[in-house]
């Protein structure tokens, strides 16, 4: 027993010192963090990462992209981020916050990147850089099954519409003629308001919409979709990490990892 322990300790020490030279590829407890994220790999310039932490700003109320399960943030974005950080030799730390705080967290340097089912928009591009997109989405309309005054996108005019604050749903709906926009911190709260008859419809991304409808019997998604969008990771303007993230993303797309992660959460 003692022998095994000292062997582990010795290898941990070797690994810790090897890490300083960027040579440790995992296995020991001291390298557990980056090892848990997948082995260091080809893109990986782990010599620069040295097992350092990268903070990801997200809003974990957006199933299946990020949500809390067993006290942990899980979901498509969490797993892709974990895979990217694993490749680059970083330890991923996820910081949960309001959606509309994410970009500020990134621009102020409080977080190293933002990943939250975040749509690339020209306006956001003025404050942050985006990686290449990793998936597509579409904004949809959720209504009550019974007696809805909204049956198609055109009907939104003049209605009271619930959105998650600061999202693209919020931006689009704010342009709808005569609409009254009710902004909520969470999409779930917007859907709750719908079930209580406080709003006529909710505009939100399609996959979370499915999850919300499943959790709220009596609601449904209209067939008339709203806007197509692309999700990407945002980083501080000019960050050196963006190119590394893109390289890692490219590899994860090519080797099928991204697909596998998405399919784990979305069955079509």
Binding residues for ligand ARG (CB under 6 A) = 58-59, 61-62, 66, 99, 116-119, 164, 167-168, 205, 229
Tokens representing residue 94 in the block: 């996820």
- Measured from the CB atom, the residue of 33 and 235 that comes closer to ligand ARG is 235
CB of 119 to ligand ARG, least distance (A): 4
- Measured from the CB atom, the residue of 12 and 101 that comes closer to ligand ARG is 101
Tokens representing residue 49 in the block: 């990462």
- Measured from the CB atom, the residue of 116 and 258 that comes closer to ligand ARG is 116
Tokens representing residue 32 in the block: 């557990």
Under 8 Å between Cβ of 182 and 170: no
CB of 26 to ligand ARG, least distance (A): 30
CB of 7 to ligand ARG, least distance (A): 44
Q: Is the dihedral of CA 168, 75, 111, 258 positive or negative?
A: negative
- Measured from the CB atom, the residue of 61 and 249 that comes closer to ligand ARG is 61
Phi/psi-derived region of residue 27, left when phi > 0, alpha when psi is between -120 and 50, beta in every other case:
left
CB of 10 to ligand ARG, least distance (A): 44
Short-list 253, 201, 251, 214, CA closest to 41: 251
């Amino acid at each position: 027993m003692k022998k095994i322990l000292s062997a582990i300790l010795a290898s941990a020490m070797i690994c810790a010192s090897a890490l300083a030279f960027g040579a440790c590829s995992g296995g020991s407890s001291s390298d557990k963090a980056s090892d848990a994220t997948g082995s260091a790999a080809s893109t990986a310039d782990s010599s620069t990462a040295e097992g350092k932490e990268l903070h990801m700003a997200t809003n974990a109320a957006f199933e299946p992209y990020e949500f809390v399960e067993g006290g942990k943030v899980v979901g498509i974005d969490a797993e892709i981020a974990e895979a990217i950080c694993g490749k680059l030799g970083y330890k991923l730390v996820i910081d949960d916050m309001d959606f509309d705080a994410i970009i500020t967290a990134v621009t102020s340097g409080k977080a190293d990147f933002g990943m939250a089912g975040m749509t690339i928009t020209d306006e956001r591009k003025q404050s942050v850089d985006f990686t290449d997109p990793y998936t597509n989405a579409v904004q949809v309309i959720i209504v009550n099954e019974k007696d809805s005054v909204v049956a198609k996108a055109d009907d939104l005019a003049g209605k009271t519409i619930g959105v998650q604050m600061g999202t693209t749903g919020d931006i689009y709906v704010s342009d709808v003629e005569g609409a009254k926009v009710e902004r909520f911190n969470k999409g779930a709260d917007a859907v709750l308001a719908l079930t209580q008859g406080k709003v006529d419809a909710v505009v939100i991304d399609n996959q979370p919409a499915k999850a919300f409808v499943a959790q709220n019997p009596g609601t449904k998604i209209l067939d008339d979709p709203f806007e197509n969008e692309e999700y990407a990771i945002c980083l501080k303007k000019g960050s050196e990490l963006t190119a590394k993230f893109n390289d890692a993303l490219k590899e994860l797309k090519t080797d099928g990892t991204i697909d596998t992660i998405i399919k784990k959460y979305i069955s079509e």
